[in-house]
Structure 1
Amino acid sequence: MSNSSNMVKVAVVGGEGIGPEVTAQSRRVLDWFVARRGVPAVMRDAQYGLIPYLATGKVLPDETAEAMDEADAILWGATGGPETKEVPPAARKAGSLLSLRRKYDLYANLRPIVANPALADSAPLKPEVLDGVDFVIIRELTSGIYFGEPRGIVTLPDGQRRGFNTEQYNTNQIRRVARAAFELARTRKNKVCSVDKANVLETSVLWREEVIALHKEEFSDVELTHLYVDNVAMQIVREPRQFDVMVMGNIFGDILSDCAAMASGSLGMLPSASLGPIDRFGRRKALYEPVHGSAPDIAGKGIANPLGSILSVAMMLRLTLNRPEDADLLERAVQSALASGARTADIAEPGAKKLSTAEMGDAVLGALDKVAGRAREHA
């Protein structure tokens, strides 16, 4: 990678399953912005998963770890799939996405949920429910039950087996992700909904108390509400437009963000950003990835939807590269491509032409040329 201090370093890690296919298209889009808009980014490609494991004994080989350590931003594809059985559990765990989140302290996961009018006919929810939907889920990503100790499976004296995990949060873990939610809300509709299960769980009692205290101390100008997680699951499919910014713990965010995908039309449409703390130079480590998984059933077929990965590049443009106008340009290009009828199989209406992964990339790049040309004409 370039050592130039004004260049943003991006590690491109396609990963497994459909990850390399969709990431290849978002890489093309990022290359377009570098070449056509002068975006100051330099990319370094790196491997992850079964292929490097067979060569090096590590799913996350040293070269990839170095590329990610050096990077300001990581463009990530996907992890997991049938090939995981060919990798010993210890090797898989050592290079897991959870371990990367902890290593880089990527504590705040942002998942924007925007209903696209062009996809109304293929969305699972009614158009009137989706009208005007535009909210962001902020999920705490490095604590909670996925990281808590003790954990394990033991055999009891009577021969039964018992599995156990530990859900825990402390003040700092709660407050820093809540602060991210309040700060984001100030740039949007100024509303935060904090999600918990305070009627049952002590961790949620603490969560609610700390969010309320932080709100009173620093963010009293932001409207704050609280909902139980089970109610939120219902509200997301009943009236999703009521939400602006939602903040929640790790396991709740994992489940509800996939539920919220139905308010955008398809899981394949959703981008995400996982953000670390801001350092003394004003920079923060960030990992950008589509919300979908590795989808091993369609891997290698060239039919996966790359828009979640492409829209993750828009988040990178906005949050790491500080290029909001370029982020808006890319989002308009995706909207334009969809409005012109570009569809992969997962978002296609019955009888509609289905584009391949690469063809959807072509459609977005073509739309970028048109949208950028119109922007120049009106400049």
Structure 2
Amino acid sequence: MSGTNMMRVAVIGGEGIGPEVTAQASRVLAWFSERRRLPVEVAEAEFGLEAYRRTGKVIPPETRAAIEGADAILFGATGGPETAEVPPEARREGSLLKLRRSLDLYANLRPIVTDPALYDSAPLKERVLNGVDFVIVRELSSGIYFGEPRGIESRPDGSRRGFNTNSYTSEEIRRVARFAFELARSRRGRLCSVDKANVMEASVLWREEVIALHADEFPDIKLSHMYVDNAAMQIVRAPSQFDVMVTDNIFGDILSDCAAMAAGSLGMLPSASLGPADAQGRRTALYEPVHGSAPDIAGRGIANPLGSILSVAMMLRLTLGRPDDAILLERAVGDALAHGARTADIAEPGRAPVSTAAMGDAVLASLDRLAG
């Protein structure tokens, strides 16, 4: 480190559109370093297909070193059909799922906030979008994505069977629920726990543990429960009813994509994946846009970088200790949208979209205007 208060950020563009959107987020991070004296060191690192071609590893040793030495990780995206050349075992060893598990990133935050500038381009009606501001807390390091046994087996009759295990322990449920209760306490005091307790034993345990934790530690929070199928409907019918929503790994994955319809596009959604707090209250943290690698548009310079840029705002607030700068960046994104900047995914019919880099330019111009 070049200074005792310097914070280290590992920037990993990854695959598909990941490097393109992360490049714009890095420009924003550099603006805060230069204009707001944000004490941050940035280390760029490889991940994915190109790293494998060069080193034989999806996550090369130097990338692992950058991750281990970082206060925060800014990640782009992973996946795509071109990655088929990476052997399955190498892909599993360097997968984002395994990285999240190895860092114990158990709490994934996905804020869903509507911007009036996008009402015309959002697929939901304006009356549905008014006042939407909630957070989905997704359990990220357990559940069906990690449960064993799993696999595909051949059966004696020649058919095949695919199987996965959805497994949760009391502690895995309680720690993410506790995180969500504490977040609700800092917001409007309402938590909705989403499960499928009418048909799944893992969800029965989920609901029982959330209820017990509420009684033991958080009686001041208004707790409600919702089955996941109803939650999906309510997110598009009346999303403003929610404050904080907590749910398991697979349900959170699905519901947050559904909730993107309230934000205007999947390209608008940031996220933060957080690990346990240490003795100083610091958490290992990975920030990334919710969208995937979008290989169909990779390299064309048309991807929406706002999910990645807003992930920097989450980093400013949650890791770098700069809430005022986080607010400034969120205002700058809103200002850029209000001035008409639109990538293809959020452009109204008949309006010419801007490029990925031009959207980055628009946010930087807004930061200049707002900072004075």
Query: TM bucket by the smaller chain?
Result: over 0.9
Classify the secondary structure of the residue corresponding to 1:349: coil
- 2:340 & 2:30 partners in 1: Cα distance? 24
- Displacement of 1:168 in angstroms is 0.7
1:47-62 maps to which residues of 2 (within 5 A)?
47-62=46-61
Identity %: 73
Classify the secondary structure of the residue corresponding to 1:48: coil
- 2:371 & 2:185 partners in 1: Cα distance? 29
1:272-296 deviations in Å (ceiling 9; x for gaps): 0000001123211000000000000
- 1:323 & 1:198 partners in 2: Cα distance? 40
- 1:316 & 1:142 partners in 2: Cα distance? 20
AA aligned opposite 2:244 = V
- 2:186 & 2:342 partners in 1: Cα distance? 32
Q: Once superposed, what is the RMSD of the aligned Cα atoms?
A: 0.8
1:236 match: 235
Determine whether 1:111 maps to 2:142.
no
Determine whether 1:42 maps to 2:41.
yes
1:344 match: 343
AA aligned opposite 1:189 = R
- Displacement of 1:38 in angstroms is 1.2
- Displacement of 1:3 in angstroms is 5.7
**Worse-matched range after superposition: 159-168 or 327-336:** 159-168
- Displacement of 1:244 in angstroms is 0.4
Determine whether 1:213 maps to 2:212.
yes
- 1:356 & 1:158 partners in 2: Cα distance? 54
AA aligned opposite 1:55 = R
1:274 match: 273
- Displacement of 1:5 in angstroms is 3.7
1:36-66 deviations in Å (ceiling 9; x for gaps): 1111211000011111111110111111111
2:308 match: 309
2:167 match: 168
Classify the secondary structure of the residue corresponding to 1:186: helix
2:363 match: 364
- 1:63 & 1:185 partners in 2: Cα distance? 38
1:323 match: 322
Give the number of equivalent residue pairs.
Answer: 372
AA aligned opposite 1:160 = S
- 2:51 & 2:170 partners in 1: Cα distance? 40
Determine whether 1:72 maps to 2:71.
yes
1:349-371 deviations in Å (ceiling 9; x for gaps): 11112110000000000000111
1:131-142 maps to which residues of 2 (within 5 A)?
131-142=130-141
Classify the secondary structure of the residue corresponding to 2:273: strand
Classify the secondary structure of the residue corresponding to 2:260: helix
**Worse-matched range after superposition: 105-114 or 156-165:** 156-165
2:32 match: 33
1:82-133 deviations in Å (ceiling 9; x for gaps): 2111111111111000000100000000000011110011000111111111
AA aligned opposite 1:14 = G
Classify the secondary structure of the residue corresponding to 2:321: coil
- 1:204 & 1:93 partners in 2: Cα distance? 27
1:240-280 deviations in Å (ceiling 9; x for gaps): 00000000000000110000000110000000000000112
AA aligned opposite 1:6 = N
Determine whether 1:179 maps to 2:193.
no
- 2:248 & 2:2 partners in 1: Cα distance? 37
- 2:4 & 2:175 partners in 1: Cα distance? 28
AA aligned opposite 2:55 = T
TM-score by length of 2: 0.99
2:245 match: 246
AA aligned opposite 2:37 = G
AA aligned opposite 1:52 = A
Segments of structure 1 that go 5 or more residues without pairing to the other structure are 374-379
- 1:39 & 1:220 partners in 2: Cα distance? 39
Classify the secondary structure of the residue corresponding to 1:17: coil
Runs of 4+ in 1 over 6 A off after TM superposition: none
1:376 match: none
1:95 match: 94
